[in-house]
Amino acid sequence: MPLVSMRQLLDEAAKGGYGVGAFNVNDMEQIQAIMAAAKETNSPVIIQASRGARSFAQDRFLFHLILAANELYPEIPIAMHQDHGNSFETCKSAIDLGYTSVMMDGSLKEDGKTPASFEENVAVTKRVVDFAHERGVTVEGEIGVLGGVEDGHGAGGTGLEHVTDPDQAVEFAELTGVDALAIAIGTSHGAYKFSKKPDGSVLKMDVLIAIHKRLPNTHLVMHGSSSVPKDLQDVINKYGGKLKETWGVPVEEIQLGIRNGVRKVNVDTDNRLAMTGAIRKVLWESPEKFDPRDYLKPAREAMQKVVATRMTQFGQAGHAGDYKAVSITEIAKGYKDGSLKTKPLVAK
């Protein structure tokens, strides 16, 4: 099947009441790990690339690697998504290349660091929505600002500085017509999210639930959703690493989110930890080894294990065969004739 529009994939997830992991990639081994996990668990999947990933791998390498995944696993619905686009031009370049979905992160200015005004965010996001929808491409927007920094993108801080205001979320969704909405509820990118197991004072699930009540049909997105499990931290530290003690987002909180409108769950850090731990172990235990395959194979297997576990926990497992991809040309017609509504249903 062709690459799937993320809108179709998330509409199906909403129908089935499950969430879909969006996993970041930079190289071939990560794409292979995700696809092996998707096959193992029979899951639809979102593969996403940040600006940093696109420049690290060189755009066309990464694009063609994802196309190879699509060719090799025709039974698995795959949406190809630009993570944290910082400008109209970045999103346009992904769309021109063939991505089926983009995130316009207008919560920050183009520098990817400075929080933008609400008006600036609406203007740039709406511009991307108009351009993308004409081509059948999905748009994720962000309201509120996440904490931390990922691949040089982010405002830093704890994630509690710009928690999403539910009224603004409603206004933003109505003004922009985004297909999916990322909200800030205290999470941040990277390994260092919380200094102890998070409770409601730092992880604002009540805000998420309030937004879902007002926007019951809008697909919500949780960024910074790695759980940073202790066992993955321990492997790194056992083999010479120096991670400080830290906590991520507990899986049960993500599952609560999924019961309350979260359809896309962004995970990067857990996979990075798994791969690094596996590589450290090989190099520590067998310092005589120098063939990259000796450590890349266990790294790929470690990532596959994490991804398959998350796919099962998010509920997407078993759903790959539920539908066939609608081409983005058809999806574009749906945006044009209004059958794919872009004005959200707002509950008073």
What does the H/E/C string look like for 262-302? EEEEEECHHHHHHHHHHHHHHHHHCCCCCCHHHHHHHHHHH
CB 65 within 8 A of CB 43: no
Q: Which is nearer to ligand 13P, 226 or 316 (CB)?
A: 226
DSSP 151: T
> Under DSSP, is residue 99 helix (H, G, I), strand (E, B) or coil?
coil
Q: Which stretch binds ligand 13P (CB under 6 A): 4-12, 166-174, 200-208, 224-232?
A: 224-232
User: Site residues for ligand 13P, window 70-129 (CB under 6 A)?
Assistant: 83-84
Count of residues binding ligand 13P (CB under 6 A)?
Answer: 14
- The CB-of-147 to ligand 13P minimum distance in angstroms stands at 10
Shorter beta-carbon distance to ligand 13P: residue 153 or 332: 153
Quote the tokens at residue 116. Answer: 């933008």
- The reply on whether position 313 binds ligand 13P by CB under 6 A is no
Q: Which is nearer to ligand 13P, 36 or 146 (CB)?
A: 146
**Residue 115 Cβ, how far from ligand 13P at the closest point, in Å?**
17
- Structure tokens that stand for 313 in this block: 């926990």
- Residue closer to ligand 13P by CB (options 23, 335) is 23
> Does residue 269 interact with ligand 13P by CB under 6 A?
yes
Residue from 11, 27, 59, 83 carrying the catalytic annotation? 83
By CB under 6 A, residue 267 contacts ligand 13P: yes
Among 82, 107, 125, 266, binds ligand 13P (CB under 6 A): 266
CA distances from 147 to 185, 245, 305 (A): 9, 18, 27
Residues 5 and 331: beta-carbon distance below 8 Å: yes
CA 130/CA 119 separation, integer angstroms: 17
| Position 281 contacts ligand 13P (CB under 6 A) | no
Residues 6+ apart with CB under 8 A from 254: 19, 222, 225, 227, 262, 265, 313, 314
Nearer to ligand 13P, 7 or 193 (CB): 193
Contact status: 51 vs ligand 13P (CB under 6 A): no
Cα 152 from chain centroid (whole Å): 16
Nearer to ligand 13P, 221 or 340 (CB): 221
Q: Is residue 142 close enough to count as binding ligand 13P by CB under 6 A? A: no
202 is a contact residue toward ligand 13P (CB under 6 A):
no
Instruction: Tell me the two tokens of residue 20.
Output: 């879909």
83 noted as active-site residue: yes
* Contact (Cβ atoms closer than 8 angstroms) between residue 83 and residue 47: no
CB of 148 to ligand 13P, least distance (A): 7
Q: Which stretch binds ligand 13P (CB under 6 A): 261-269, 285-293, 308-316, 318-326?
A: 261-269
Q: Give the up-direction half-sphere exposure of residue 124: CA atoms within 13 A in the CB hemisphere.
A: 26
Q: Is 226 in the site for ligand 13P (CB under 6 A)?
A: yes
Q: How far is the CB of 226 from ligand 13P (least distance, A)?
A: 3
CA distances from 182 to 9, 103, 140, 208, 336 (A): 16, 9, 7, 10, 24
Residues binding ligand 13P (CB under 6 A):
24, 83-84, 150, 189-190, 223-226, 266-269
Kindly list the catalytic residues.
Answer: 83
